[in-house]
């Protein structure tokens, strides 16, 4: 079955109050949705501009001067390529990171997040103001899921990969941490954000990422809030149905426990981001990293100050 055909079967469930459907139909639609979301995540990860197939350290430095820091969030969602080029994602550890790799990470992550969201029909149905609201509330937490699947596979023993051939050795946080905030961050993040997710497969991660994307729908318009509510209901149903496929031998009680444990990961991601944001905020304030524009709006949307100055050492 083609992805477009799967999508046609998913759409009616999102756009009408269908309650009298058989378990078989619901199960089929859930599996189609999960397959669709997984395919979308792979398409977004594999999509790149051939001109940026193998970016070097020098090119990363030059790119840092050319990001679309003047682009509004609305325009960035409509045309993500205006914010940053679609470089090829590669999880190798070819060179130690430089400070420009940190800003690269956030600009490129926005592009892949916008690409992912724009391929989901329910997101496209939202008014652009509601799309912006969801990104303001959910980008920081959703963005982690784009890295999670790869990090689980490659591990963090040798450091954190940035997706462009650069990586941060486990002790490099000290160099980019002038106030010595949380020097054990690597071990803490592994315990909080890596280990609990190791039981999830790639399809569950794609589904969980979409659940995070459609949170906080109450901040949207009435139309947007209703779209988010229906989408969340369907996503939760799909997660439940997938547990029966992945673990057919377990009891209903065990399925309830697994589903609950997965959903309880949401506050863990939020908690971890609040801790990490202190470090990113300091690097941004003191000119270590320039995240002006969309990343600053999304990561520190409650703050209002200019980060375009240099920290005097």
Q: Distance (Å, rounded) from C-alpha 52 to C-alpha 48?
A: 7
Any domain includes 209: yes
Burial class (CB in 10 A: 0-12, 13-18, 19+), 291: buried
Enclosing H/E stretch for 94: strand 90-96
pLDDT of amino acid 9:
43
User: Does 270 score more than 80 pLDDT?
Assistant: no
Beta bridge partners of 96: 167
Q: State how far the alpha carbon of 279 is from the alpha carbons of 36, 107, 168, 235, 282, in Å.
A: 36, 17, 15, 33, 5
User: Does 190 score more than 90 pLDDT?
Assistant: no
Q: Distance (Å, rounded) from C-alpha 298 to C-alpha 300?
A: 6
Any domain includes 181: yes
Any domain includes 309: no
- Span 244-266, mean pLDDT? 89
Structure confidence at residue 86 as a pLDDT band (50, 70, 90): very high
* Share above pLDDT 70 across residues of the chain, in percent, rounded to a whole number: 75
State the total domains in the chain: 1
Contacts of 69 (CB under 8 A, 6+ apart): 290, 292, 293, 294
- Span 254-275, mean pLDDT? 81
Q: Distance (Å, rounded) from C-alpha 128 to C-alpha 191?
A: 37
* Share above pLDDT 90 across residues of the chain, in percent, rounded to a whole number: 50
Tell me what the pLDDT averaged over the chain comes to: 82
**Three-class DSSP category at 161:** strand
**pTM summary value:** 0.84
Cβ 244 vs Cβ 36: under 8 Å:
no
Domain ranges, residue 197 = 3-299
Any domain includes 102: yes
- Span 149-173, mean pLDDT? 79
Say which residue, 119 or 185, is predicted with more confidence: 119
Alpha-helical segments (H) within the chain: 3-15, 23-46, 57-64, 73-78, 99-118, 121-125, 128-154, 185-189, 202-213, 222-246, 252-263, 265-285, 294-299
Structure confidence at residue 182 as a pLDDT band (50, 70, 90): low
Cβ 140 vs Cβ 134: under 8 Å:
no
Name which of 174-183, 233-242, 259-268 the model is least confident about. 174-183
pLDDT of amino acid 140:
86
Q: Distance (Å, rounded) from C-alpha 165 to C-alpha 219?
A: 38
User: Does 280 score more than 70 pLDDT?
Assistant: no
Any domain includes 305: no
Any domain includes 156: yes
First to last CA, the chain: 60
Name which of 105-109, 172-176, 309-313 the model is least confident about. 309-313
| Highest mean pLDDT pick, 86-100, 159-173, 222-236 | 222-236
Give the residue among 79, 76, 87 at the shortest CA–CA distance from 135: 76
pLDDT of amino acid 266:
83
Q: Distance (Å, rounded) from C-alpha 74 to C-alpha 250?
A: 45
Say which residue, 190 or 61, is predicted with more confidence: 61
Name which of 105-114, 128-137, 185-194, 222-231 the model is least confident about. 185-194
Any domain includes 307: no
- Span 84-102, mean pLDDT? 92
pLDDT of amino acid 186:
58
Contacts of 95 (CB under 8 A, 6+ apart): 57, 165, 166, 167
- Here the CATH number for the domain that contains residue 107 is 1.10.565.10
Any domain includes 312: no
Residue-wise pLDDT tens digits, 23-41: 888 889 999 999 999 999 9
Burial class (CB in 10 A: 0-12, 13-18, 19+), 227: buried
Structure confidence at residue 60 as a pLDDT band (50, 70, 90): very high
């Amino acid at each position: 079955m083609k992805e477009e055909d799967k999508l046609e079967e998913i759409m009616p469930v999102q756009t009408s109050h269908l309650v009298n459907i058989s378990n078989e139909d619901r199960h089929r639609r859930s599996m189609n949705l999960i397959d669709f979301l997984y395919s979308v995540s792979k398409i977004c990860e594999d999509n790149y501009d051939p001109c940026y197939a193998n970016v070097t350290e020098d090119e990363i430095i030059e790119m840092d001067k050319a990001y679309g820091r003047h682009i509004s969030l609305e325009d960035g969602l409509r045309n993500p390529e205006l914010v940053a080029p679609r470089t090829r994602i590669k999880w190798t550890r070819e060179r130690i990171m430089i400070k420009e790799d940190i800003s690269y990470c956030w600009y490129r992550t926005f592009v892949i997040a916008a690409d992912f969201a724009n391929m989901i029909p329910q997101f496209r149905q939202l008014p652009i103001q509601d799309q912006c609201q969801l990104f303001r509330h959910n980008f920081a937490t959703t963005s982690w899921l784009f890295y999670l699947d790869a990090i689980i596979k490659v591990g963090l023993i040798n450091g954190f990969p940035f997706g462009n051939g650069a990586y941060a050795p486990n002790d490099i946080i000290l160099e980019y941490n002038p106030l010595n905030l949380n020097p054990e961050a690597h071990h803490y993040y592994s315990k909080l954000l890596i280990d609990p997710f190791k039981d999830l497969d790639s399809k569950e991660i794609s589904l969980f990422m979409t659940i995070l994307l459609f949170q906080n729908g109450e901040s949207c318009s009435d139309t947007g809030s209703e779209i988010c509510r229906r989408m969340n209901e369907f996503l939760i149903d799909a997660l439940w149905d997938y547990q029966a496929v992945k673990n057919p031998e377990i009891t209903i009680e065990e399925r309830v426990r697994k589903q609950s444990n997965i959903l309880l990961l949401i506050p863990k991601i939020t908690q971890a981001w609040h801790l990490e944001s202190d470090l990113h905020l300091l690097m941004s304030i003191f000119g270590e990293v320039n995240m002006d524009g969309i990343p600053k709006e999304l990561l520190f949307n409650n703050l209002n100050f200019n980060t375009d100055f240099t920290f005097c050492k």
